[in-house]
Structure 1
Amino acid sequence: MTAPINTAMDNLCAAQKSNIIPNQEYLLQGSVVDKSVEVLLHRLRGLCDNVDSGPETFSDHEMCFSIRRGSPQEQPLLLRVRRSMEPNFADMPWQLRYIGQPELGDKSRPTIVRSSIDIATSNTVVDFLTELGCKLDYEYITRGYIFRKGRMKIIVSKIIKVNQMNKVPESVPDYITPSYLVELSVLAPSGQDAIAEDMRVFAEQLRPLVQLEKIDYKRLVH
């Protein structure tokens, strides 16, 4: 089995050097109040692909873990585990995601850029992370709609609390805010900054319904 493993590693290294692995996420975020979301969904149906079939719906349970790599002053490594709660996708793999620190860059850059790597896993991934020493920081549920425009993905979703018994609410959802989160994102290999300008142009078409912008997370924390 050594030869196939070596070949796979060689192929992976070659792909990384050729910048064909999507390991960067370009991101804009905003929100829209509940009473205006139908107008936004109607606008997105007109702008995005697959107008006839309509947007995809989803319901995901997401758990956010962290682990310290060294001194307390260092930023912890952040990992996210996501699983679908849709009955039709019960057999789908779970998703483990690494997200790096946002790079706001200069003011002329249209979007946030951050490292992002997604891996399909089995449903034992939570046990695996716990054994590694990762700590569950928080978890939540997202339900909403996914639109696509070329390489761009637009998500309009509600964020729902997980109850005190660490159970997913089955009857009346406990929404965190009276608004929808709107995210415009693209996963692409390093060095494809031109996509950020396409995202800016698309975001302008959604004004004034929603203002998609770069979010300075450090400013929110402090």
Structure 2
Amino acid sequence: MSSENQPTAAMDSLLQALQVNIIPNQEYLLQGSILDTQVQRLLHRLKGLCDNVETAPEQFFDYEVCFSLRAPMNEQTLQMQQAPPPLLLRVRRSNDPADSHMPFQLRYIGNPELGDAKRPTLVRASFDISCSPSIIDFLTEMGCRMEFEYTVKGYLFRKGRMKITVSKIFKAMNMNQEPLSQSYLVELSVLAPSGSDAVAEDMRVFAEKLKPLVILEKIDYKRLATVPYD
């Protein structure tokens, strides 16, 4: 195949994959938190429930920054007197020197689907792309604005296609690693193609096994306080 035809062939393959619904483009998510004093009990339980129980859980130490890109105002939005919400993009890289060769990760997370209120998990669009370290400069040149940054340190467990992270969030670029709270964030997630609602029930069953140490639930972000975008 000639080099001229390769981009066309790659695009055709991508479109075909989207049509047959095999690309994981949705994240099913449950979240909770646990106090520092109880986190070791949770880690012990996860070791017994998750895969590869004979080995220690995978650890991570990452830096993440969130960028926003605001859509230009047009006549319609001016008449509505309400600006559309900004596009949010997240860039994450490892702070571990042993992972210095690993690519940066660019992530887009969509708004949660309204869907069925009885659905046991939150569902939102999610796309992850590996990229070079120049991605931060590229987003800045595109007009993106940095909203916030932080470092996160924690443990990663897997149970089948489910991913469970137990992580502590710290202020970014703080040599003393000052934590933002006295608790750990616990997330149970699955990346799957659209319409894979059966995974939500599997996640609900697994979350039940972690009670009463941690209550994993779908968070209603509309009820959280927000800062107006200026």
Q: TM-score range by the shorter chain?
A: over 0.9
Q: Secondary structure at the match of 1:186?
A: strand
Find 1:213's aligned residue among 202, 212, 217. Answer: 217
Answer yes or no: is the 8 Å Cα contact 1:103–1:114 preserved in 2: yes
Report the residue type matching 1:142 in the other structure: V
When normalised by structure 2's length, the TM-score is 0.92
Deviation at 1:53, TM superposition (A): 1.2
| Structure with bigger gyration radius | 2
Q: Secondary structure at the match of 2:187?
A: strand
Deviation at 1:105, TM superposition (A): 2.7
Answer yes or no: is the 8 Å Cα contact 1:104–1:216 preserved in 2: no
Answer yes or no: is the 8 Å Cα contact 1:57–1:146 preserved in 2: yes
Cα deviations across residues 148-181 of structure 1 (Å, max 9, x unaligned)?
000000000000002xxxxx234x2110000000
Does 1:183 find its partner at 2:187?
A: yes
Question: Residues 110 and 216 (structure 1 numbering): CA distance in 2 closer, same or farther, change over 3 Å?
Answer: same
Deviation at 1:104, TM superposition (A): 4.3
**Counterpart Cα distance in 2 of 1:3 and 1:141:** 42
Q: Which residue of 1 aligns with 2:76?
A: none
Q: Secondary structure at the match of 1:159?
A: strand
Does 1:63 find its partner at 2:68?
A: no
1:128-143 matches, within 5 Å, as: 128-143=138-153
Deviation at 1:142, TM superposition (A): 0.5
**Counterpart Cα distance in 1 of 2:26 and 2:144:** 24
CA RMSD of aligned residues (A): 1.0
Deviation at 1:68, TM superposition (A): 0.8
Q: Which residue of 2 aligns with 1:86?
A: 96
Report the residue type matching 2:192 in the other structure: A
The number of residues matched between the two structures is 216
Identity %: 62
Find 1:23's aligned residue among 22, 25, 36. Answer: 25
Deviation at 1:42, TM superposition (A): 0.3
Deviation at 1:214, TM superposition (A): 0.7
Report the residue type matching 1:122 in the other structure: S
**Counterpart Cα distance in 1 of 2:117 and 2:139:** 37
Unaligned runs of 5+ in 2: 74-81
Q: Which residue of 2 aligns with 1:165?
A: none
**Counterpart Cα distance in 2 of 1:50 and 1:57:** 14
